[in-house]
Amino acid sequence: MARPRAADHQDKRVALLDKATELFATQGFDRTSMNEIASAMGVSKALFYHYYPSKQALLFDIIQVHLTELVEAAEAANVAEAAPEERLHKVVSAILDCYRGADARHKIQINHLSQLSVAEQAALKRLERRLVEIVSEIVAEVNPSLPREQVWPITMSIFGTLNWKYMWFREGGRMTHEAYAALVTRMFVAGAKAAG
């Protein structure tokens, strides 16, 4: 008979995930041991393995949670009846909202996804592709005469702009998330309309 899960199982799993995210982002995936994560959490290594059987399982979960949140937020923001420009703004805003406080998870996704198995990478890349598809479809609607071969570079340029925000953006600085989302949208709507 399977042992029942403790009532706080999910809370402990999230706490372990958060601590591992912090350590992987600051020390690097290779240089962080399961012992260090367990010790930082004040739990035994045996208890840690009850939640995550390996460091790779932990890494996969960190990235999967991050990408799933991004996809779900983008899908929810992509309201079909809105004009393409408004939809792009809403999706960009939703992505940037997900990035608030998620710099460590984002850094891990960029730097460590390649350290997972081919099958795990494929599962995560499906989530990445879904996110790109959402934005790509909107870009194509912003300028229906835009050649298909230009939709991809514009879409990836949007993600390049959003994905590296964590390198320079500071909370409480001159620009808010909302103002940055509006700026990015204006830039790329104008660019998509002028292209082709």
Q: CATH code at 10?
A: 1.10.10.60
What pLDDT, in 10s, does the model give residues 131-144?
999 999 999 999 99
With 0-12 / 13-18 / 19 or more C-beta atoms within 10 angstroms meaning exposed / middle / buried, residue 46 is exposed
What pLDDT, in 10s, does the model give residues 64-95?
999 999 999 999 999 888 999 999 999 999 99
Residue 170 backbone phi and psi in degrees, to 5: -125, 130
| 162 in the same domain as 109 | yes
Write out the two tokens for 21.
């995210």
- What confidence score (pLDDT) does residue 170 get? 84
Domain count, the chain: 2
The secondary structure element, H or E, covering residue 23 is: helix 9-27
Q: What is the mean pLDDT of the chain?
A: 90
Range of the domain at 23: 1-53
What pLDDT, in 10s, does the model give residues 21-45?
999 999 989 999 888 988 888 888 8
Task: Tell me how far apart the alpha carbons of residues 162 and 59 are, in angstroms, rounded to a whole number.
Answer: 22
Q: Which amino acid is at 22?
A: E
Instruction: Quickly list DSSP for 111-152.
Output: HHGGGS-HHHHHHHHHHHHHHHHHHHHHHHHHSTTS-HHHHH
Sign of the C-alpha dihedral computed for residues 141, 143, 139 and 86 taken in this order:
negative
Cα atoms found within 13 Å of the Cα of residue 20, Cβ hemisphere only: 26
Stated pTM of the model? 0.87
| 21 in the same domain as 83 | no
What percentage of residues in the chain have a pLDDT greater than 70? 95
| 182 in the same domain as 142 | yes
User: Which residue, of 27, 53, 79, is where some domain finishes?
Assistant: 53
| 25 in the same domain as 84 | no
- What confidence score (pLDDT) does residue 9 get? 63
